[in-house]
Amino acid sequence: MNRHIVLHERSQRLNAPRRDAHAVVIGGSIAGLLAARVLADYFGTVTIFEKDPLVDGAEPRPGVPQGRHVHSIWKRGLSLMEESFPGLTAELIEGGSAEVEMTKDFAWYHRGVWKLRVPSGIVITCQTRPFLEWHIRRRVCQISNIGLVDRCYVKRFVTDTTAGRITGVVVQSRGVGATEETVAADLVVDASGRGSRTPRWLEELGYGRPEMSVIDVDVGYATRFYARPPIEDCPWKALIIAPTPPDGTRLGVIFPVEGQRWIVMLGGWNGDHPPRDEDGILEFARNLEAPDIYTFMRDAEPLTPIVGYKFRANVRRHYERMRRFPGGLIVLGDSLCSFNPIYGQGMTTSALDAMTLRECLERGVRKGETIDAMAHHFLKRVPRRLEAPWRMAAGEDMNWPGTQGDAPFGTPFMNWYFGRVHALAARDPQVLVRFVRVANMIDSPVRVFHPRVLAPVLTRSARGRR
């Protein structure tokens, strides 16, 4: 693991990124690693500070408690990661990830019907979160101008004399006797996750805190790994049993992952959380809307204890609405917008954030803009990219009466409409594929309002069961 802190004299010119410029990334999560990969093409040195100890392997980290559970990397996110790290998908598959075609290999029970299983070419890889993060981290650490410092806390921002821009960070290693160090930077990127301290640090600097949108869902889930026979022997490669709101609240998922294992997750909304004892979790599975996961768990060979996780709320921080925002700072990933993890949007959204960062840096270089101008452009542009996944996650969560929060505008209509789309996806292959392309963030949600979908939604019964 490459570990170093770069300290050097700062140039006072804040022009477009230069080969002597330094960028600091707070957090070595997938969001931070993807951001560092982008920054390395524009800055002479990029330093990532990660508070967790890191090992050269696919091990869960203390700072990612949900890392032991099911994670999905949707097609758009996987494609963007492949663009940043050519050959990554092949490496994942060689290491044991399973290729799964979303509309053919998934057995998907949702809203009281089984969705059709037809070819679409929408192929993703299934693996654990630590396995994917480890592969990305290995690639990042091979880039000569990126340094990764683990076991190191970022304690606060450093500013110029007017507090008008962020000029670095104060860090402290977790080692015995370690003292604080000041690390200068031309740009600081906060990718520290849901527990980001940027709101507090900005308030201490006199900027105030950003407004927040909060959708309280009180989701909890439990996960266990099971032995997996050759996947060809199974009638499906992945299985999802989703509830029918507002009465149904329980979800079950089975994915194939590396190490010839199945990962099985059971979850529930609005406080309906699965227990973690043998009899209790089987009973929870037995009460899903279809029996398949219960049957699987009853007969399969468990490999691990049951682990749990609770997620309270979707949170979106609106830095773009702040009256004042300092130069030299970018916030992305879960630090900016944290979704209900059941929908699997987090990693793909982080990849979209990194793509937006690249677009803003490239535009800035082309126009000869300052680093602050590029950061400001990102601040204004990234919320537009977040709008669609936020509406889909927050809107879906509002289907349950116990969910608290301010629903996005038009949520009742959207939930009615998508309910009809889900029903049609049980018998209309074109509707199914259009919806899955939107869910994978390949297409805009506008695509499900195409006349080919809109007409049957409005004119045909969407209550038929298959």
Residues 173 and 192 in one domain: yes
pLDDT at 230: 75
With respect to residue 411, please indicate whether it lies within any of the assigned structural domains. no
With respect to residue 120, please indicate whether it lies within any of the assigned structural domains. yes
Task: Identify the band that residue 81 occupies on the pLDDT scale cut at 50, 70 and 90.
Answer: very high
How confident is the model over 99-109, as a mean pLDDT? 95
- Structural tokens at position 218: 């009180």
Q: Are 222 and 306 contacting, i.e. CB atoms less than 8 angstroms apart? A: yes
Sign of CA dihedral 295, 402, 343, 127: negative
Residues 60 and 171 in one domain: yes
How far is Cα 20 from Cα 17, in angstroms, rounded to an integer?
8
How confident is the model over 21-26, as a mean pLDDT? 97
With respect to residue 96, please indicate whether it lies within any of the assigned structural domains. yes
Indicate the residue among 290, 312, 334 that finishes a domain: 312
pLDDT at 464 over 60: no
- In 237-370, the DSSP E strands lie at 238-241, 250-257, 261-268, 307-318, 329-331, 337-338
Residues 181 and 295 in one domain: no
Classify 423 as helix, strand or coil: helix
How does strand 45-49 pair with strand 22-26?
parallel
Query: Using one digit for the tens of pLDDT, what is the confidence trace for 37-68?
Result: 999 999 999 999 999 999 999 999 988 888 88
Indicate the residue among 312, 343, 374 that finishes a domain: 312
Residues 224 and 280 in one domain: yes
- In 65-122, the DSSP E strands lie at 98-101, 106-110, 113-114
Residues 196 and 341 in one domain: yes
Query: Using one digit for the tens of pLDDT, what is the confidence trace for 368-422?
Result: 999 999 999 999 999 999 999 999 999 999 999 999 998 899 999 999 999 999 9
Residues 42 and 120 in one domain: no
Residues 336 and 222 in one domain: no
Residues 146 and 265 in one domain: no
With respect to residue 438, please indicate whether it lies within any of the assigned structural domains. no
Residues 151 and 187 in one domain: yes
With respect to residue 241, please indicate whether it lies within any of the assigned structural domains. yes
Report the percentage of the chain scoring pLDDT > 70: 94
Give residue 51's domain range. Answer: 22-64+134-213+315-395
Task: Identify the band that residue 177 occupies on the pLDDT scale cut at 50, 70 and 90.
Answer: confident
What is the DSSP track for 165-232? BEEEEEEEESSTT--EEEEE-SEEEE---TT--HHHHHHHTTS-PPEEEEEEEEEEEEEEEEE---GG
Query: Using one digit for the tens of pLDDT, what is the confidence trace for 240-289?
Result: 999 999 999 999 999 999 999 999 999 999 999 999 999 999 999 999 99
Residues 123 and 111 in one domain: yes
With respect to residue 248, please indicate whether it lies within any of the assigned structural domains. yes
Residues 240 and 114 in one domain: yes
Q: Which helix (H) or strand (E) holds 397?
A: helix 371-397
Looking at residue 51, which CATH number applies to its domain?
Answer: 3.50.50.60
With respect to residue 435, please indicate whether it lies within any of the assigned structural domains. no
Residues 148 and 199 in one domain: yes
What's the structural domain count of the chain? 2
What type of residue sits at position 113?
V
Classify 57 as helix, strand or coil: coil
Task: Identify the band that residue 231 occupies on the pLDDT scale cut at 50, 70 and 90.
Answer: low
With respect to residue 440, please indicate whether it lies within any of the assigned structural domains. no
- Structural tokens at position 25: 């990334």
Indicate the residue among 270, 293, 312 that finishes a domain: 312
pTM exceeding the 0.85 threshold for the entire prediction? yes
pLDDT at 10 over 60: no
Task: Identify the band that residue 18 occupies on the pLDDT scale cut at 50, 70 and 90.
Answer: low
